[in-house]
Amino acid sequence: MKKFICIFAVFAIITLCFSGCNLPEKQSGDGLNIITTVFPAYDFARNICGDNATVTQLLPPGAEAHTYEPAAKDIVKIQNCDLFIFVGGESDAWADKILSSFDTPVKDLRMMECVNVLEEELKEGMDAGNERGSEEKEYDEHVWTSPLNAIKICEAIRDAVCEADPDNRDIYTENCEKYVAELTSLDNDFKELFKSYSGKPLIFGDRFPLRYFVEEYGLDYYAAFPGCSAQTEPSAATLAFLTDKIRSENIKTVFYIEFSNHTIADSLANATGAKTAQFNTCHNISQEDLANGATYISLMRDNLRVIKESDSNLSESPESIGTDDIA
């Protein structure tokens, strides 16, 4: 009898353990564990999940997205997450190798698969550097720079989290709806702004990761380098081309992007009397911006403001521009 009870107890413990072990690791109360590479994915996921997920961005604040390499602890984080969101382009090409090395597949979402991708463009006047003469066309990875693409990406994230955690489907759907309304209003504000825009090209004394943005709003642009270029010294021909453009089009503002040393924009401004201003491409944000609560929407609204201030058609008093003055 004693022996029987003992065997029964062991059996019960084993059954209990197995039924426990068979449950998915994340119970609805635990929340989802989401890992992202770049800032927009992080910001979209936290807006859609609210308190129902822990969202972690792998790129430390202030880190340059194109040179980031995951550490061993990052790979462990990806392996143990419920959803991994990445761009799917050249700057996080490492992710494909890592994902295919896992024995148990990790649920992933590629932002580039959420939208219609555009080929990288070598625009007139650009210094293509090593890409010069390359026949191979690559797709531009900066898909999030158009607010309408951001909506498509958010809807894909919503679908992925609903699948991973169906108990909270209603919450994710409602959060996504609210956030998409904010993105729609951002898009409408850009459309409204460009209705009275002079049509002058945007000039970037920098890399140009904004192909989707200019395509969306039908804008023209010129820049020193293509989107993901690691180049920092433009050729004399590129500098001369951009200087001529600024003069002939009577451009008031030369843009540089976040984390740039803006020396090219500064020298173009010095040569032409234009001002400079930062345009946020939102790959990543600085520690300071993060502490100040910056979001994809707030950074894009900063872009709206600098475009407005850069254009004499839009800005009421072009002399009082709040952007960086170049002496």
Name the residue whose CB lies closest to Zn ion.
Answer: 228
Cβ distance 34 to 54 under 8 Å? yes
State in angstroms the smallest separation of the CB of 251 from Zn ion: 24
Cβ distance 211 to 116 under 8 Å? no
State in angstroms the smallest separation of the CB of 91 from Zn ion: 5
Please identify, using beta-carbon distances, which residue of 139 and 197 lies nearer to Zn ion: 139
State in angstroms the smallest separation of the CB of 90 from Zn ion: 8
> Considering only 17-25, 52-60, 222-230, 291-299, which stretch makes contact with Zn ion by CB under 5 A?
222-230
Q: Which are the contacts of 173, defined by CB distance < 8 A and separation ≥ 6?
A: 158, 162
Please identify, using beta-carbon distances, which residue of 95 and 228 lies nearer to Zn ion: 228
Please identify, using beta-carbon distances, which residue of 81 and 228 lies nearer to Zn ion: 228
Instruction: Please report whether residue 154 would count as binding Zn ion according to CB under 5 A.
Output: no
| Tokens standing for residue 104 | 């148990």
In whole angstroms, give the CA distance from residue 252 to residue 89.
33
Please identify, using beta-carbon distances, which residue of 31 and 209 lies nearer to Zn ion: 209
Alpha-carbon 30 to chain mean position: 27
State in angstroms the smallest separation of the CB of 229 from Zn ion: 9
> Considering only 40-48, 106-114, 166-174, 227-235, which stretch makes contact with Zn ion by CB under 5 A?
227-235
| Tokens standing for residue 151 | 């909506």
In whole angstroms, give the CA distance from residue 210 to residue 142.
7
In whole angstroms, give the CA distance from residue 1 to residue 7.
10
In whole angstroms, give the CA distance from residue 284 to residue 134.
28
Instruction: Please report whether residue 88 would count as binding Zn ion according to CB under 5 A.
Output: no
Please identify, using beta-carbon distances, which residue of 40 and 209 lies nearer to Zn ion: 209
β-strand pairing of 253-257 with 275-279 = parallel
> Considering only 55-63, 158-166, 201-209, 315-323, which stretch makes contact with Zn ion by CB under 5 A?
201-209
Cβ distance 42 to 90 under 8 Å? no
> Considering only 104-112, 182-190, 204-212, 292-300, which stretch makes contact with Zn ion by CB under 5 A?
204-212
Please identify, using beta-carbon distances, which residue of 203 and 228 lies nearer to Zn ion: 228
> Considering only 24-32, 145-153, 209-217, 257-265, which stretch makes contact with Zn ion by CB under 5 A?
209-217
3-state secondary structure (DSSP) of residue 24: coil
State in angstroms the smallest separation of the CB of 67 from Zn ion: 11
By rule CB under 5 A, what count of residues binds Zn ion?
2
Cβ distance 204 to 277 under 8 Å? no
Please identify, using beta-carbon distances, which residue of 143 and 183 lies nearer to Zn ion: 143
Please identify, using beta-carbon distances, which residue of 32 and 228 lies nearer to Zn ion: 228
> Considering only 145-153, 165-173, 228-236, 250-258, which stretch makes contact with Zn ion by CB under 5 A?
228-236
3-state secondary structure (DSSP) of residue 260: coil
Kind plus residue range of the DSSP H or E element containing 207: strand 202-208
Residues numbered 249-278 forming contacts with Zn ion, rule: CB under 5 A: none
Contact with Zn ion (CB under 5 A): which of 53, 228, 265, 299?
Answer: 228
Alpha-carbon 250 to chain mean position: 31
State in angstroms the smallest separation of the CB of 38 from Zn ion: 9
- What are the φ and ψ backbone dihedral angles of 90, each rounded to 5 degrees? -70, -30
Instruction: Please report whether residue 209 would count as binding Zn ion according to CB under 5 A.
Output: yes
CB atoms within 10 A of CB 179: 23
Residues that bind Zn ion (CB under 5 A): 209, 228
